[in-house]
Amino acid sequence: MAQSVVAYATLIVGCLALTAVPGASALVVKLNTLVLTVPGWNIDFLESTLLGYGAPYTVARYDKSNPLNLTQLLWAPDGSANFAGYIMYPNIEAMGHLNSTQVLTIWDYQNRTGSSADVTMKFTAAAPLGASGILPSAPLSSSGLYRCPGSGSAPPLATCSMWASDFAATGLHPPCQSTPVLMVGANVAGTLVKFGDGRESLAFMHDCAGWSTTCLVLGHVSLSWILQGLIPGERISLLTVHFDDFFLATEFDANLKVGSLTQYRATVPDLQAHLTWRSALAASRPGTSITYELPYNGNGVLEQVANTVKTTNVSPIDVDDRSCIDFPEYVTLGCSCWFIGMAACPATQPTFCRNCTKDWAKPLGSGVNRAAQSTKTNNATWNVADFSAGDPLANFIITNTNGQADGFFYDHHTFSHENLDNATSFDTDIQIELNMQMASYLSLASRKSYSSKCMVTPQISGLRNGDALASLARHGVVCGTGDNTWPFLMNTNNPHHMLLTNKATNGFDGFEILPRFATEIYYNCSTPTQNMVLYNNLYRSFFGGDSTIADLMQREAARVSRELFKLRHDPYMMHQANLAILDGSGKSLSMRWVDAVVAEFGKYASWPLTSLKLDDLRAAFLARQARDACALSYAIEVGANRTVTAVTVKSGAAADGTQCSAPLIMGGSSTSTSVAKGGSVRVQPAGLSWFVPQPA
């Protein structure tokens, strides 16, 4: 590939062409991407893709009042090239931001290094999709794209002209050949431009919004193209769905009964139906394997056994599980601060109201025990025989016939679903200890499908309660999921990192909050009819009328697909009632949701979708955090015959004895090597090339 650049209506991506650097025995190019922009332009759609891969990139904002030294930016002192490709957004070449010397500096860099440029809807056969994994049939929407495409009827120009202040009269008119690669109807939205001197540019005739699936898809195409299929990072698409409250029964709204049912508890036939569906889904999309996770509440087993066997050996615990928002005082006192937070809560509100916010931090040592002292020995009379006889779900897991129970993941959701925001150390001890003991009785604790280090707290509570966090940590639970609805539970510096608690804010240092997305599938719904009543109550005015279940699923599929294209690994929240198959369709709400997401994502990309249990997901986040802390840089050495003779990975961090993984995508495959923090590794791959055509 020649030097190339990408541009979008205003965006250009460029590849650098290949000639030896003076004084160097071989061309050395860092696998770093340069984003050239100007103040006031939003590049979030580009950064989402680059950040998702964990690919090194540099943002340089060009300002005429303080212009960049492009030579120093593009070249290292040792003569190596700092960037393998660059993206201009907007197209600062064509918009007159650069003078003639600066334009020629960039062109020269492209010619000497093989770097590509990309300027950022239907792909044509000429679209350079390469190793991006994006499908030629991807149905790219113009939603989120701004400005108009070029005319498809106009003949391609023989020169690509531009003008700026110091060459306004004469202009620059390099010879070029343009081939459409992206069409909107009969009009051109993207072209591959080949210049006479060997440079190439991928130019898109539109601006982009960060929420546009099309822009995210084009970001993957652009990155793969400008780096010639050598992407320093990893591309893994995870779709993990949690079903909180497993073993408990969930009450329906009073006016939303299903026949005579006023509540629902998942059944063994529900689970078996999901296993059958999962197998069919995997067969329809090679490489895809979706596994549901069941955050469980062990007290639900006791409740079921007590109602079925009527044994005196089993006695469910009775603990108030309410949050402060569920107390009558929240209504009688006129509270209104739960959703707006402590800082915005008016000083005129009663103390109860000011302390009843989602971000309230419980003072250490405060609170009153809700659990009776006797609950600590509740398990003294438990026995497996009663559990197997009295609860089909417990028996399903204990017996694990044909490995069916291992078709799901499991983690803690506390024993009785007590809200932990104001829980004492004693209460939290009870909740986690009894749930751990239940895992042992159900033969879960030793299975690979079980997570013991990371959990889902009820109502995403307790994350600002130092007493609760300290109790969980004492029991080996060092991680809990957050809720991305609440920004204070996310790492706003990097969405691919967990948030670490600190004593000042959370009452405890070092507990990990793993990000998790909510969904529009509601906790107390088992049928589309139920879900749509609640959905339309929330969104009727926004959409100007009632929506159908198909409308909801399409909106959810589009939203989730965008996060998948950002390579976000956050799991998704649902609840056990969403596993029910009650409406005669043979499908649960969760099946409909996953089917819609997989179908939508599959329109654009060939990548498989997989799931990880919580402990493994935590490990993936920790590995990414360690990799970013290593401050990795990649460089390729290119011989005279355009063969990549070596790849060097260097850590820019201070040495401390730790290791991090350094993944690299190479065309249709990927590899990873281990690098010591502060060290470097040089590998000699086989069969890689850094191709640049000869100038015409």
Q: Domain map of the chain by residue range? A: 4-231, 240-290+520-610, 293-514
Could you tell me whether strands 409-412 and 250-251 are parallel, antiparallel, or unpaired per DSSP bridges?
unpaired
pLDDT at 310 over 90: no
Range with lowest mean pLDDT among 34-48, 155-169, 560-574: 155-169
What residues have CB less than 8 Å from 545, skipping those under 6 apart?
Answer: none
Contacts of 564 (CB under 8 A, 6+ apart): 237, 239, 597, 601, 609
- pLDDT value at position 576? 99
**Residue 635: is its pLDDT beyond 80?**
yes
Per-residue confidence (pLDDT) for residue 170, from 0 to 100: 75
Q: Is the pLDDT of residue 505 over 80?
A: yes
**Res. 692: pLDDT tops 60:** no
List CB contacts of 337: < 8 A, sequence separation 6 or more: 344, 345, 346, 349, 353, 354, 356, 357
pLDDT of residue 609 exceeding 80, the answer is yes
Asked if pLDDT for residue 86 goes beyond 50, the answer is yes
CA distances from 301 to 141, 252, 260, 372 (A): 49, 20, 23, 19
Q: What integer pLDDT is reported at residue 549 of this predicted model?
A: 98
Residue type at position 219: G
Prediction pTM value: 0.91
Split at pLDDT 50, 70, 90, the class of 43 is confident
Q: What is the mean pLDDT of residues 550-567?
A: 97
For the chain, give the mean pLDDT: 88
Note whether 95 and 187 are within 8 A (CB): no
Give yes or no for a contact between 86 and 98, defined as CB atoms under 8 angstroms apart. no
pLDDT, average across residues 115-142: 69
Give the span between the Cα atoms of 276 and 588, in whole angstroms: 13
More confident residue, 434 or 145: 434
> Confidence class of residue 133 from pLDDT cuts 50, 70 and 90?
confident
Residue 153 confidence (pLDDT) above 70: no
User: What is the per-residue pLDDT across 540-558, written as a single tens digit (0 to 9) for each?
Assistant: 999 999 999 999 999 999 9
pLDDT digits (tens, 9 = 90+) for 259-276: 999 999 999 999 999 999
Angle at alpha carbon of residue 607, lines to 602 and 610, rounded to 5°: 95
Tell me the C-alpha to C-alpha distance, in Å, between residue 476 and each of 9, 412, 451.
53, 12, 11
CA distance 332 to 94: 64
Q: Does pLDDT of 146 surpass 60? A: no
Q: What is the mean pLDDT of residues 400-410?
A: 98
Residue 187 φ then ψ, to 5°:
-105, 150
The residue with greater pLDDT, 148 or 55, is: 55
The token duo for 93 is 């070449």
pLDDT computed for residue 22 by the predictor: 37
pLDDT surpasses 60 at 120: no
Q: What is the mean pLDDT of residues 119-128?
A: 64
Are 418 and 458 in contact by the 8 Å Cβ rule? The answer is yes
187 vs 445, residue with greater confidence: 445
Question: In this predicted model, which residue has the larger pLDDT, 689 or 209?
Answer: 689
Q: 392-399 and 299-308 are packed helices; what angle lies between their axes, rounded to 10 degrees? A: 120
* Cis peptide bond prior to 90, omega within 30° of 0: yes
Q: In this structure, is the dihedral angle defined by the CA atoms of residues 358, 431, 518 and 480, taken in order, positive or negative?
A: positive
Q: What is the mean pLDDT of residues 594-599?
A: 98
Tens of pLDDT along 370-394?
A: 999 999 999 999 999 999 999 999 9
User: Tens of pLDDT along 211-228?
Assistant: 888 888 888 988 988 888
Query: Mean per-residue pLDDT for 469-494?
Result: 98
Q: Give DSSP secondary structure letters for 209-264.
A: -TT-HHHHHHHHHHHHHHTTTEESS---EE--EEEETBTS-EEPPTT--BTTBSEE
Across the range 150-167, mean pLDDT stands at 64
